[in-house]
Structure 1
């Protein structure tokens, strides 16, 4: 059976995923004042975008792919089609993907299409895409892939430490987070996501390095039972050395079966800002 996975552009595609032909990206649109860019490889330039965000007093914005973009992405020769979107609590991308599915099924009522709410973002979506690929390559049925992927999503945890939280705060993505002050003291919150995909504060530390260590402490605590069965994804915004340091620290403590490192695409760059680190396991 052939398959296709449509991942909105908050999820990064690895080089291997791009080469496989089984993955396509549904681009969001990014806006910094009058500057508007589509979040895809052809149009998005991370360095240029970070410069515009740094220079602009106003908050950057994103808009999700239209239902028609999703409908067109589903229209292929694959037997099984899946979509993976960033958390429904953070974006309208999930609802748009579902609307696109309904549009597609009007003309293709027998098609097998399923939309996953990642309850995460960024490299969390990447890992879900890789889980779908693993299950498909094992020859599981469409229904089994859906069931086991949904279970995998429930087992995922997301952590992140950012140099600044301005974009998340201005865009209202930190509604439940209270203790976000002390910029002058260099306090860095260690953030995570709930099972539903909302953002919470897990811990905090003075300085980026100490905050990253606290993040790894939390990863060790939550994932110590079966690390050899799991992959870890690390997304970094323009800080590969910091990502490598986090990877080494994680692998010192837990024997995960694999770790993938990706540079953030447009949407994740907008929220993570320069120097941000996101980990999903």
Structure 2
């Protein structure tokens, strides 16, 4: 009997992870201008960005159903590790828990643990990778869970938005504030709190200055970086992600580096030009 690492589709898996059948991505569904888009391999980022830009409505996402999670947990393995989008941002965590309860009614011997990532996107990716590393070291289920919960507490997530339209459309910014910010090219530097909520850390005039401020936060806040993986998710801006990577590596040493283009849910949050960093 083996294990599976189940990640909701806000977790932006690398190409290598997609080819590893120990990972399962459970898709959320996006609703953009009334059209449903399943966040799986069929997701078209450019079409989604174009539709988001043209729509006056805020895009929305719906989490996988408990039934979908339950079916995943009954796929034949004896232990399942589940990584979801922050409980503060989505119902995916609670849906997975309900799915676990339903699955255990069918098979009480199943070992399932639901991790609240307290992050999103590439933060989920790093957590899933850590779980695989624990299993490959020979850790048992309980030790893998304990070590991964410790890892989550020490993880840091930051992001910078180039496009503020989603924040405006969902009411996080008033029309006036959004207009002023856009006119002055003010860009927020955002982060995740320890409970997984989103907070604004600072702001800067222009995307490049905002990215440099974000890098300052990373350098100041991240300890023992040489033992950590630097992960960057980018929304339709690979060259910008490369520049951020190089700027960070000039100031700190890291164990490894991962770059990945955003999937559907992360694209919705980050919008065109957004950069998300987890370490």
TM-score (normalizing by structure 1): 0.95
**Distance in 2 of aligned mates of 1:172 and 1:232:** 32
In the TM superposition, 1:202-281 aligns within 5 A as 202-223=201-222, 225-281=223-279
Taking a change above 3 Å as real, the CA distance of residues 38 and 179 of structure 1, as seen in their structure-2 partners, is closer
**Distance in 2 of aligned mates of 1:276 and 1:77:** 38
Query: Once the two structures are superposed, what CA deviation does each residue of 1:159-193 show, in whole Å capped at 9, x if it has no partner?
Result: 0000123324533678xxx9995221101111001
**Distance in 2 of aligned mates of 1:171 and 1:258:** 36
**Distance in 1 of aligned mates of 2:208 and 2:146:** 38
User: Are 1:115 and 2:114 counterparts?
Assistant: yes
User: Are 1:18 and 2:48 counterparts?
Assistant: no
In the TM superposition, 1:61-80 aligns within 5 A as 61-80=60-79
Match of 1:31 in 2: 31
Query: Could you say what secondary structure the match of 1:47 adopts?
Result: helix
Q: Contact 1:6–1:82 at 8 Å: present in 2 too?
A: yes
TM-score (normalizing by structure 2): 0.95
Taking a change above 3 Å as real, the CA distance of residues 145 and 109 of structure 1, as seen in their structure-2 partners, is same
Q: Contact 1:173–1:199 at 8 Å: present in 2 too?
A: no
Match of 1:192 in 2: 191
Taking a change above 3 Å as real, the CA distance of residues 201 and 267 of structure 1, as seen in their structure-2 partners, is same
User: Are 1:131 and 2:107 counterparts?
Assistant: no
Query: Once the two structures are superposed, what CA deviation does each residue of 1:90-141 show, in whole Å capped at 9, x if it has no partner?
Result: 0000000000001100001010001000000000000000000000100001
Once the two structures are TM-superposed, the CA of residue 145 in structure 1 deviates from its matched residue by 0.5
Question: Structure 2 regions of 5+ residues with no counterpart?
Answer: none
Taking a change above 3 Å as real, the CA distance of residues 66 and 168 of structure 1, as seen in their structure-2 partners, is farther
**Distance in 1 of aligned mates of 2:153 and 2:179:** 27
Once the two structures are TM-superposed, the CA of residue 157 in structure 1 deviates from its matched residue by 0.9
Q: Contact 1:190–1:204 at 8 Å: present in 2 too?
A: yes
Q: Contact 2:33–2:51 at 8 Å: present in 1 too?
A: no
Runs of 4+ in 1 over 4 A off after TM superposition: 178-181
**Distance in 2 of aligned mates of 1:271 and 1:179:** 16
Q: Contact 1:8–1:27 at 8 Å: present in 2 too?
A: yes
In the TM superposition, 1:97-116 aligns within 5 A as 97-116=96-115
